[in-house]
Structures are given as structure tokens and as C-alpha cells.
């Protein structure tokens, strides 16, 4: 055993501390998994889509209370104010040789009233098979900007710590004018192998009721189940690998009653219809590396998901946690997302498909998105921390990797600003 270079002092402390923690009986057992400190979080978030679309203002609160040695309780509350316009369906645009651009007429719209282009639709659409005119793209018809709602939600989570095992139970509810949700979760975490590995099993259930404002005497239910299997493995002093596999099963009314599809054959916009069940698989792989030099941590995440609606998606995300000294910390984050389109998605339909499932919801289209953000944190005192964040998101039909129909008319972006305060007391 040769004397190796005894490099950076920071490394020395880490090495000695790490070796000391490996000594048996040195860390109290309860220290590995224990109730957290009493703390209170309050945060304000402002979400704003481009082109004066949706805006959400959100106020969140969270309180963590240790209850004795083996229990802690987390209480969360959130109130969102939602306003703005959202797309209902897409109207094909017809381009003719004479240079005119014509949108076909809309005879009827189901549900909420939509606004079409200035000047209104023409009463007739030209023949598409004569060679003079053809469909070239589409544009979105928006739900009136007067759309407003307030969401109020609250939940609790109880954690029970016993040696290397943690059991969690949580439940909560969320209320909107037209959407109620009740949910619960159970999870079990087990530390193994001298706390180098953590195995997680989880189950979540949500039971939702939709009472859309555009319908009278209409109420439909939906049930969602989610199962999680996770493994976190410490690979060394500076490396950690995590993988989570989740399976979700949703059943019931999965249609969005505010979304329509446009039918070219009848010039009508009719309500979309989705299958009444969905199975979705998700695989997350996360690698974390700690750099001794800059004392920074790099997170690399890859997520793959697929569902029996035909949507498969890749997410690649990275962020860097950089302490700047004197309690400051900066976290830049970058994310790329690409999804394929649902089997029953079209921008618009010629006529109703035979299988009875159809949607033009832009969220089911094939597309890609790049998002990124920056979070600045300042530990003001031992007890108080302030977070300031900004995040942008840019959705582009062209960014998508999987083959899909062009939906660049649905491209949009949003920005989120956040400010939050964390107090330990």
C-alpha cells in the first residue's frame, strides 16, 4: 500500500468522515432514517403561457411536524387561480392557387363556445378535390378567455420510521368548480446493505369526478392506480444510481369534455372521445455524481414512458447544483422531451373513425419540447432559506423524434417564476 497523493483538504475531510461513518455503532440507528426537523414552506408561483393564453397563480404552503421519535407529519395546502384561454379544436386551413387562405365553416360546436378567426368563417368551403385548393396546416380555435377557476387542494403525509424501514401513508383532496379529486398513497422504504441500497415500493390511488361546466346534469368518474418499484444504490463516495419503475392504470372517464375535434365531412366540431382505460409504463434512471473540486453535484435523468394509447416518450434532463459559498446556491437545469402521438390523435378528422376514439388535443400530438431553468437559493440564517426560480418551456412540433403529423400550429411556450421561503423552527 503506497502512500498516495493526499490531495485536496476537502477530500481529506470527506474521506475521513466517510470512513468514520462506516464504523459500527457510530451513527445512531435512528439517525439514518428519522423524523425531519420542524419546518414551514411557503411559495408563490406564477405560470404564464405565451400569446396571452393560460395564466396560473399559485400559493403553496407546507408544514412538516415531527411527532416524537418515529413519526413525522407533513401537511400541504395549495390554491391555484387559473385564467386565460385554451385551445378547443383545430380548424384546417385551405390554401388555393389564387393565394386565398380559407378556413372551412363551422356549423356547430359542442360544449363551450369557440371563437374563430376575425371576419368569421366563410359560408362555403371550396372543393378540395378539384386541384385548385388543398388543406395546408391548421389553426387552433380557442376557448374564450373568460375561462376562470380556482383550485384548492390539501393533503397530509405521515411517515413512520423504524430502524432501516420507513412507512408512509398519505391522503388528500383537491376541489375545482368542475373537478374533484380524492387521493391516497402508501409507500414502504427499506434501507439495505449497510444503507448503501434503498428499496422503495409504493401505491397511489386517485378517485376523481368531472362535472364539466358546459354540460348540465353530467358527472363522470375516473379512477387511477399507480404502482412504484424503486431502487437507489450508492456506488461510491461520490456516485449514486437510482431507477424507478412505475405502472399506472387509469379507468373511467378519461375524455376532456372541453376538447372537440373538427370533422371535415360535416363541417362540425364534435366532442372528443378517448378510450376508457389507459395503461402506462414509466422507467426513470437517475445518476448523480458529486464533484469534490467545485463541491457540486450533477444529476442526469433519463425517463422512458409508453402507454397503450400509443404515446411513447423520452425525457432527458440534467441539472447542476453549485454551492457558491456564504449560503448561496445556483441550480441550472435543462430538459429535452419528445413524445409520439396517440393512436387516435389527428389535427382534424375527415369523418368519425370507426373505432370510436378520436381527439385533437395538442397534448396527445407528437412533439418535442426544450425547457430549462435557473434556481437561486440563499440560506439566510440557519433557520431560513429563500429560493428564487425562473423556468421556460418551448414546445415545437419539429423537436419531436418520433414520426408524427405536423402540429406546429399548436406550438407554444410558457414561463414559470417562483419565490419561496423555507423556515426551520
Partner 1 sequence: MQSHRLAFRAMGSPCELQLFGADPRETEAIGARARADVLRLEQTYSRYREDSLTSAINRAAAAAGTIEVDPETAALLDYAHTCYRESGGLFDITSGLLRRAWRFDSGRLPEPGEIAPLLARIGWDKVVWERPRLSFGVPGMEIDFGGIGKEYAADRAAALCADAGLHHGLVNLGGDIRVIGPQPDGAPWRVGLQDPLRPETLLGGVLLTGGAIASSGDYARCLVIDGKRYGHILDPRTGWPARGLAAVSVIAATCVVAGSLSTIAMLKGRDGIPWLGALGVPHLWVDVDGRQGGSGVFADLLEARRASFRAAAPARSAESD
Site of interaction with partner 1 (CB under 8 A): 1-4, 6, 9-13, 15-31, 69
Pairing between β-strand 277-291 and β-strand 148-162 as defined by DSSP bridges = unpaired
Total number of residues shown for the chain: 425
Q: Name the grid cell of 210.
A: 368531472
Kindly tell me which of 17 and 193 has the beta carbon lying closer to partner 1: 17
**Separation between Cα atoms, residue 382 and residue 12, nearest integer Å:** 25
As a three-state string, the secondary structure of 320-380 is EEEEEECCEEEEEEEEEEEECCCCCECCCECCCCCCCCEECCHHHCCEEEEEEEEEEEEEC
Q: How far is the CB of 190 from partner 1 (least distance, A)?
A: 19
Q: How far is the CB of 295 from partner 1 (least distance, A)?
A: 11
Kindly tell me which of 24 and 131 has the beta carbon lying closer to partner 1: 24
Q: Name the grid cell of 15.
A: 474521506
Q: How far is the CB of 299 from partner 1 (least distance, A)?
A: 25
Kindly tell me which of 7 and 120 has the beta carbon lying closer to partner 1: 7
Q: How far is the CB of 25 from partner 1 (least distance, A)?
A: 5
Kindly tell me which of 194 and 221 has the beta carbon lying closer to partner 1: 194
Of 250, 258, 242, 152, give the one whose Cα is nearest residue 198. Answer: 242
The arrangement of strands across the sheet holding 268-271 comes to: 108-109, 268-271, 260-263
Q: How far is the CB of 291 from partner 1 (least distance, A)?
A: 17
Of 232, 416, 272, 249, give the one whose Cα is nearest residue 333. Answer: 416
Kindly tell me which of 71 and 390 has the beta carbon lying closer to partner 1: 71
Q: Are 320 and 298 in contact (CB under 8 A)?
A: yes
Q: How far is the CB of 19 from partner 1 (least distance, A)?
A: 4
As to burial, measured by CB atoms within 10 angstroms (0-12 exposed, 13-18 middle, 19+ buried), residue 26 is exposed
Which residues, 6 or more positions from 153, have their beta carbon under 8 angstroms from its beta carbon? 76, 77, 78, 79, 172, 173, 174, 175, 181
Q: How far is the CB of 156 from partner 1 (least distance, A)?
A: 26
User: 249-258: buried (b, 16+ CB within 10 Å) or exposed (e) per residue?
Assistant: ebebbbbbbb
Kindly tell me which of 1 and 130 has the beta carbon lying closer to partner 1: 1
Q: How far is the CB of 189 from partner 1 (least distance, A)?
A: 20
First to last CA, the chain: 48
**Separation between Cα atoms, residue 187 and residue 204, nearest integer Å:** 9
Kindly tell me which of 29 and 51 has the beta carbon lying closer to partner 1: 29
Q: How far is the CB of 363 from partner 1 (least distance, A)?
A: 49
User: By three-state DSSP, how is residue 364 classified?
Assistant: helix
Kindly tell me which of 22 and 300 has the beta carbon lying closer to partner 1: 22
Kindly tell me which of 13 and 196 has the beta carbon lying closer to partner 1: 13
Q: What are phi and psi of 370, to 5 degrees?
A: -115, 130
Amino acid at each position: 500500500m503506497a502512500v498516495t497523493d493526499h490531495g485536496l483538504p476537502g477530500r481529506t475531510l470527506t474521506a475521513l468522515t466517510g470512513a468514520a461513518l462506516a464504523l459500527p455503532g457510530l451513527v445512531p440507528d435512528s439517525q439514518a432514517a428519522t423524523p425531519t426537523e420542524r419546518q414551514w414552506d411557503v411559495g408563490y408561483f406564477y405560470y404564464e403561457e405565451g400569446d396571452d393564453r393560460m395564466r396560473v397563480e399559485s400559493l403553496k404552503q407546507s408544514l412538516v411536524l415531527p411527532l416524537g421519535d418515529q413519526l413525522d407529519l407533513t401537511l400541504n395546502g395549495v390554491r391555484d387561480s387559473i385564467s386565460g384561454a385554451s385551445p378547443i379544436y383545430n380548424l384546417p386551413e385551405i390554401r388555393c392557387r389564387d393565394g386565398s387562405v380559407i378556413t372551412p365553416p363551422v356549423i356547430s360546436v359542442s360544449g363551450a363556445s369557440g371563437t374563430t378567426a376575425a371576419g368569421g368563417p366563410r359560408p362555403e368551403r371550396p372543393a378540395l378535390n378539384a386541384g385548385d385548393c388543398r388543406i395546408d396546416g391548421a389553426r387552433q380555435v380557442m376557448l374564450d378567455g373568460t375561462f376562470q377557476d380556482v383550485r384548492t387542494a390539501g393533503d397530509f403525509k405521515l411517515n413512520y420510521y423504524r430502524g432501516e424501514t420507513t412507512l408512509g401513508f398519505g391522503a388528500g383532496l383537491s376541489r375545482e368548480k368542475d373537478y374533484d379529486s380524492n387521493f391516497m398513497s402508501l409507500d414502504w422504504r427499506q434501507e439495505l446493505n449497510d444503507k448503501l441500497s434503498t428499496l422503495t415500493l409504493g401505491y397511489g390511488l386517485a378517485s376523481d369526478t368531472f362535472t364539466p361546466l358546459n354540460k348540465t346534469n353530467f358527472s363522470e368518474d375516473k379512477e387511477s392506480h399507480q404502482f412504484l418499484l424503486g431502487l437507489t444504490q450508492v456506488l461510491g463516495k461520490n456516485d449514486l444510481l437510482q431507477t424507478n419503475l412505475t405502472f399506472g392504470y387509469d379507468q373511467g372517464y378519461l375524455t376532456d369534455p372541453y376538447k372537440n375535434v373538427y370533422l371535415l365531412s360535416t363541417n362540425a366540431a364534435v366532442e372528443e372521445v378517448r378510450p376508457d382505460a389507459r395503461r402506462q409504463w414509466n422507467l426513470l434512471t437517475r445518476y448523480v455524481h458529486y464533484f469534490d473540486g467545485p463541491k457540486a453535484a450533477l444529476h442526469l435523468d433519463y425517463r422512458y414512458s409508453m402507454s397503450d394509447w400509443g404515446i411513447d416518450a423520452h425525457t432527458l434532463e440534467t441539472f447542476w447544483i453549485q454551492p457558491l459559498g456564504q449560503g448561496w446556491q445556483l441550480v441550472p437545469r435543462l430538459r429535452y422531451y419528445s413524445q409520439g402521438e396517440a393512436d387516435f390523435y389527428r389535427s382534424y378528422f375527415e369523418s368519425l373513425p370507426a373505432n370510436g376514439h378520436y381527439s385533437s388535443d395538442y397534448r396527445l400530438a407528437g412533439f418535442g419540447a426544450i425547457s430549462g431553468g435557473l434556481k437561486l437559493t440563499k440560506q439566510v440564517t440557519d433557520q431560513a432559506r429563500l429560493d428564487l426560480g425562473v423556468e421556460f418551456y418551448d414546445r415545437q412540433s419539429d423537436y419531436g423524434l418520433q414520426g408524427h403529423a405536423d402540429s406546429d400550429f399548436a406550438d407554444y411556450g410558457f414561463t414559470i417564476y417562483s419565490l419561496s421561503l423555507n423556515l426551520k423552527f
